[in-house]
Every structure is written in C-alpha cells, then in structure tokens.
A and B are shown apart, each in its own frame.
Chain A
C-alpha cells in the first residue's frame, strides 16, 4: 500500500516539505474557497441550497482525499536540472505577470476608452512586452490591420454593438 506504512518515521521528517508542495497548496486554496461558498449557501432558501451544498461537500471531500494522499506519498527528489536558470526564471515570471497586468488593464480600459482604441493599445503594448529582437514596422501594421479587421467583421457583419466608452459623447 502506502510507503509510509513500511517506514513510519518518514511521516514526520518530510511532512513540512509535503505541506509546502504546490498541489497541496492548490487543494488547500480550493478547500478555503469551498468553505466560503458553503457559508454563503446559508443565505438561500433551504430547497435552493440543497444542490450547491451537496456539490460543495462532495468537492471538499475529494479535495481532502487529494491532500491526504499527497501527504502520504513520498516526496520525489527529482535530479533533472531546471531548463531555465534562476535569473531567466525570474525574468519569465516578471514577463508573465506583466502580460496578465496588461490584459487586466485592457479589460478595464474597454469601458473607459472604448473597445477599438483599447484593443489597438493592448496589441502594441503586448507586442513590445513579448518581442524577441526588433519588430519591423510591417509587423505592427499587420497586427493593427488584423485587429481592425476583426473589429470590423464583428461590428458590421455580426452586428455587435461595441462600446465606445467616454468617446460615445462624440457620437451624435
């Protein structure tokens, strides 16, 4: 069965390492979220809360089983060298965080400066963030043209009413 049954002293020694595992942390976050949702379900009528509560309890049970099984498994000590150096890894994390921040700024800007302008700004900023080397002017023009074409197709052929944001005051 589990290796810990063969060697009980193993439980205490690696427990902290196991608790700090990424997947255990992920399952713990899910458990916390489920606890909040379970608490919220008390504000519904008894009948309306039946289905969500059953699902929340079942998912919480599965998360507990996952954490327990992860804690009981031995810690893998992989010896494969990391693909990226520590500096490169940090640079990658910063880039990913920057991209997420840009997407957040983009979705927030939609209501303020309108869909088209925010899309164009996001496109250029995102290209500058992830580029490797120099991008030719034709690269920028091509992407801006594509974004404009997408916008045009959705607005005129699929009759999507895109928000113009604050610029809607100019639309007489």
Chain B
C-alpha cells in the first residue's frame, strides 16, 4: 500500500493526474460530453504510458468530469452530465438570485467530500462492499428501480401528480427500440435511427437546453437588462461558512454513503445516486418547501452523492472485475489493456499499481477542489454576456454535443423535437422535466430486471411475488420504498400546512 502512495508523488504522475482532472472538468461541463466518453476517448493516449500513470490519468478524468457537470448546471441551468440534473434544480436558482459563487462552493466542497469518502471506503472496505453488491440479482435491481421511481415525488415541485405523469412519459420513451423479451422493435416507426432507443444524453440536452434558453429570452424580453443573471463579486475563494459546514456535515456523510453504495451496485450510476441524494437532502431538511427555489442543501446533497459513486463504482471493478457503471466498464478496458486482471492478484502482485490508482483518486479530488474554489468562479463572467451572444452559442454547443455522441445528424433533430415538446409541456401544464429523465434512466433497468425475474420465478415454479419476497434484500428494499412513500406523504402534509 505504501509503495503505491510513494509512487503517486512523482512529478510526472502528479502532472498527469492534474491534466486528467482539468480535462475531465471541461468534458463534464460541456453538455453532450460525459465521463464515459472522456475516458473512452483518452484510453488510446494511455497506451504509451506505464500502467499506473495511464490509470491515474483516467481516474482524474472520471473524478473531474463527475464534478464538472455541476458547473454548467449551476451557471446556465444546463446539466453537463445526467448526474448534474438534480444539482441544476437548486444550483441554477441560486445563480439567478446572484448566489452563483456560493452554489459553486457547495458543489466543489460537496463533490470533494463525496469523492474522498468513497475513495476511503474503496481503500478500506473494498472486498466487503463488493461481496454485498454481488448479492444484487435481477429481483433486487427491479426493487431498486422501484425505489428510484419513488424519488419522482421529490423532483416534482408543487404537484406530485404532474411529476408522476412526467415520469410515466419518460418510462414510455424508454421502451423505444429493441424489446428485451423477443428482440422485436417497439415504437420505432420504421426509422433505423430509433432501433437503439433514445439516447439519454440527447434527450437530456433537448429537455434542459432549448426550453431553458427560450424561457430566459422570454424573461428578459420586457426588461432593459439583457443578460441571464446579475453580476457577482468575484474576489476571494468560493468557501462555505463554518455554520453552513456544521449544518450540512451530517447530510454530507449520509449522501456519501448513499453514493458509495449505489456506485458499488452494478447497473446503477451517478445519475441515480444524485437523485437519491437530492431526495435525502429534502427529506431531512427542516424547510423542504424551499427546495427548488435555490437552497444550499439542494446542491450539496446531489453533488456529494454523485461524486461518492466514483470510488464506489471501482469497488466491484477492482475486486471482482464487475464494472459498477458505464465509466468503470470503460476503465476495465483500460486495466485489461495494461495487462491487469481485476481480483485478488491486483491487490497482491500489482499492489503498487492498484493502491497507487486508489491514491490518485485522492489527489484528483484535491485538484478539482482547488480549481473549484479558486478558478471556476471566473466562469460566472460567462453568464453576464448579453443574451444575443450566449443564446446562439449555447444552442450550437447543444447541437454539436448531441451530434458528437453517435456522430449522427439525427440526434440534433431529436434535441429540437424534445426541446419543442418540453417547452410546450412547461407552458401548458408546468410539467417538471427531471422526472422524465428518471423514467428514461430507470425504465430499461426496471423492464430488463422484471423480465429476468419472471424467467427466474418460472424456472423455480413459483409465483413472481413470492419469489421476490423470498429474498432478504428485496424485503429490505420494499421496506425502504414504503418508508420513502411515508416520508414523502409526511413531507407533502408539512409543506401544505
């Protein structure tokens, strides 16, 4: 372990980790580019580097991109990554009120806390958490997706009914493409571009970019002030006050634990963790009615959770070779290219590399914290530009980003159609948009795991309900769903009174 620690402090490695983290922040902040894409694009660069240097750089990109998504979510209301959607709900509102610096501080410190916590967990408890995560089969994943769907209530704003309708729309969209039962096509209208279903990031850009920019245009149409937000004092570092730290430290621990556990469960990711973190922050808050209006906890909760995933997702990867999410699946490729096989041998024969990689995550978290509290604040200047400058640039960036995902000129069309529908659904019904993405994320997981559970129950000649409730983790997750629903109902009653 100590040899790994010494190895990481070579100037060359520190430079590579810093470079990877900076690049990751930029990739995360640009809508359309995700951590997965960043790691995948830069894997060829690591061929010429030695194993630890290559992995440390990829780890830097992963941590930086997970944090970077919050910057555009806070400053322009467009989440750079799906994991930053929950952050944009309160972060953007804070920025509009002139508290962008505080929101950026909350995002940097929350992300750092979650990242460091999950890296410590990875260092100390990797084998134990990996064993627990392996107990998650299809029935458990189905119950987990149901648990995720109950989070819609937290993201629905004033009307839960509207949130549920939006979640249903997301679930219906998620059924587009090849069905997991027969391999037949559903809702594709004979268009080959829809055979693979809707790309989540393309829909995300459409939902959050076009309506947001048009609403900003409408809001400033009558006024003389023709920029998105008010100017802010940029002197000093982005820091939280001692009272804010004290008030949120417990929330930080809760959300870090959530992020680490969610990250360790294969098939889930930082987007789900961020939504659960947001729900948790709202649940424990004394003022849940203020969520969505620009509250610090609304940024700390999701940011701590989604960065908690970074270390968590590496636990099953390094110990069992099971990737926790898409980024760690790409990282697995990076490991194999370097001739490293995940498992017991990685922590014994290649201990310097594996522990060096884990320590590089600590360094990466410190790098983005330093940049987050000192440099990122200058991005606030971007939002002071007049709307006739920033609006076309954001639209072009969205179209370029959506095109870049699959090199397909069909995706910008999807962005336009989704943006148009999102605009009218906001205008007509004030439909919340975040539940649509929850439905889109959880739909495939729910359907696939349900179909596998049905097959498993049939093979055991049991009723599916009995089969699900014969598994201890499913019972625990059902209790969690019931508790969440109870807490939500209590919260609604509190908010309405």
**B443 neighbours in A (Cβ, 8 Å):** 55
- Whether A171 is near chain B, meaning CB under 8 Å from some CB there, is no
**A142 neighbours in B (Cβ, 8 Å):** 389
**B222 neighbours in A (Cβ, 8 Å):** 83-84, 88
A37 touches B172 (CB 8 A): yes
- Whether A147 is near chain B, meaning CB under 8 Å from some CB there, is yes
A142 to B393, CA, bound (A): 10
**A106 neighbours in B (Cβ, 8 Å):** 395, 399, 412
Chain B 198-235 interface mask (CB, 8 Å, partner A; 1/0) = 00000000000010001001100110001000000000
Number of interface residues of B (CB under 8 A): 60
* Residue in contact with B429 in the complex, picked from A27, A37, A159, CB distance below 8 Å: A27
B400 touches A151 (CB 8 A): yes
A66 touches B221 (CB 8 A): no
Within 8 A of A (CB), among B11-48: 33, 37, 41
A53 to B387, CA, bound (A): 44
**B181 neighbours in A (Cβ, 8 Å):** 45, 47-48
**A45 neighbours in B (Cβ, 8 Å):** 179, 181-182, 184
B404 touches A99 (CB 8 A): no
- Whether B485 is near chain A, meaning CB under 8 Å from some CB there, is no
State whether A47 and B182 are in contact (beta carbons under 8 Å apart), knowing that A66-B165, A122-B396, A132-B388 are contacts in the complex: yes
* Residue in contact with B428 in the complex, picked from A26, A58, A69, CB distance below 8 Å: A26
B179 touches A146 (CB 8 A): no
A58 to B181, CA, bound (A): 21
- Whether B84 is near chain A, meaning CB under 8 Å from some CB there, is no
Which among B89-97, B269-277, B413-421 touches the partner chain?
A: B413-421
B447 touches A51 (CB 8 A): yes
In the assembled complex, how far is the CB of residue A162 from the closest CB belonging to chain B, in whole angstroms? 7
- Whether A131 is near chain B, meaning CB under 8 Å from some CB there, is yes
- Whether B456 is near chain A, meaning CB under 8 Å from some CB there, is no
- Whether A143 is near chain B, meaning CB under 8 Å from some CB there, is yes
B175 touches A22 (CB 8 A): no
In the assembled complex, how far is the CB of residue B152 from the closest CB belonging to chain A, in whole angstroms? 11
In the assembled complex, how far is the CB of residue B290 from the closest CB belonging to chain A, in whole angstroms? 23
Chain A binding surface, main DSSP class: helix
B389 touches A55 (CB 8 A): no
**A162 neighbours in B (Cβ, 8 Å):** 403
- Whether B431 is near chain A, meaning CB under 8 Å from some CB there, is yes
State whether A84 and B221 are in contact (beta carbons under 8 Å apart), knowing that A55-B171, A55-B175, A66-B162 are contacts in the complex: yes
Within 8 A of B (CB), among A105-140: 106-108, 110-111, 115, 119, 122-123, 126-127, 130-132, 135, 139
* Residue in contact with A23 in the complex, picked from B182, B217, B430, B450, CB distance below 8 Å: B430
A147 to B389, CA, bound (A): 11
**B391 neighbours in A (Cβ, 8 Å):** 126, 130
**A23 neighbours in B (Cβ, 8 Å):** 428-430
- Whether B161 is near chain A, meaning CB under 8 Å from some CB there, is yes
A103 to B402, CA, bound (A): 14
> Chain B: residues with CB nearer than 8 A to chain A?
33, 37, 41, 161-162, 164-165, 168-169, 171-172, 175, 179, 181-182, 184, 186-187, 210, 214, 217-218, 221-222, 226, 387-389, 391-393, 395-397, 399-401, 403-404, 407, 409, 412-413, 415-416, 419-420, 423-425, 427-431, 443, 446-447, 450-451
Q: A56-B168, A150-B396, A150-B397 are in contact. List 12 more A-B contacts (CB 8 A).
A: A23-B430, A26-B429, A49-B186, A88-B221, A107-B412, A110-B399, A123-B393, A123-B396, A127-B392, A160-B400, A160-B403, A160-B404
> Chain A: residues with CB nearer than 8 A to chain B?
22-23, 25-27, 29-30, 34, 37, 40-41, 44-45, 47-49, 51-52, 55-56, 58-59, 62-63, 65-66, 69, 83-84, 88, 92, 95-96, 99-100, 103-104, 106-108, 110-111, 115, 119, 122-123, 126-127, 130-132, 135, 139, 142-143, 146-147, 150-151, 154, 158-163
